[in-house]
Structure 1
């Protein structure tokens, strides 16, 4: 986006319509369902039900051969094994998103990284959830020398593979992979490489209005 006139017009902005009533009919271990009565600009009122989520982080781990680390994991709601990138919840109170990303890269892939940048920030389904995800780019990879993290549930038996970025883009466009964090992270990586370069990405501690830290 090189035209400053376009940059001045395009960009998400904070806004909050008045809420006259709110309830939480369901509270789960990770997320809850919330029901708000929202006052519309035209003076009417409407109920909006949505999933309240703590937020997540993802890691596009890029090696020196131009490959990204991907994991195959079962996802029960869609009844599929999906190829994904290391990712996890912001479920530790007060934890910095970068620390969470480092933890997920270690726990799910037993890797560490020396160089970190913010790659892309997304809302997964803003019409029905407030889940915000920050996807980091991790470079300078090495296998961790620490004791492996003990996985459980869906993470047991996860497959790990190294996927060339160009092949990832091809699989995305062919409809062969569907995980939104992998899709957005791989496409953002390809765009960054074709644009100003990876070193021009935001710093790993760049502000994140969706989940201030």
Structure 2
């Protein structure tokens, strides 16, 4: 069995055919079944400071480029966070990362009605009161003609060739741009190995 790691090698001991062996109730990946979804009557999720520019670092962990925020103490009140919407506390943005594949019909970690999307963005927030809790927002990407909303991030990601490579990133822009067509799913707070 795979020693606390995973990869996309179909023939490897850490590949997709062994992922179900984790046997967790909230195990990724999941299929979001439209027939089982119910209308959510809680108040809307509030996005605070998502228009603030921040700096960060992009790190190649061997699977994706993880973008970690660097927050200076005097900018602590400007950190993007989410609150309300049924959450038990406010959650501050700590990092975001992408999942993508070799082809346009694969790439997203999760599926919606059994369909994969070309890419998926995970926006990871840590609890302000209890940092052991996470709130992760998943955004499915579809192909479009305007590729500029994430141009700066994509340009930097092309430089992350070797796992373990770290790249300083300046002027991190707002993640939730109106020009990006998205479907957001708020996942349960959980730590994923």
Shorter-chain TM-score: what band? Answer: under 0.3
TM-score (norm 2): 0.26
CA radius of gyration, larger in? 1
The structure where helix makes up a greater share of residues is 1
TM-score (norm 1): 0.24
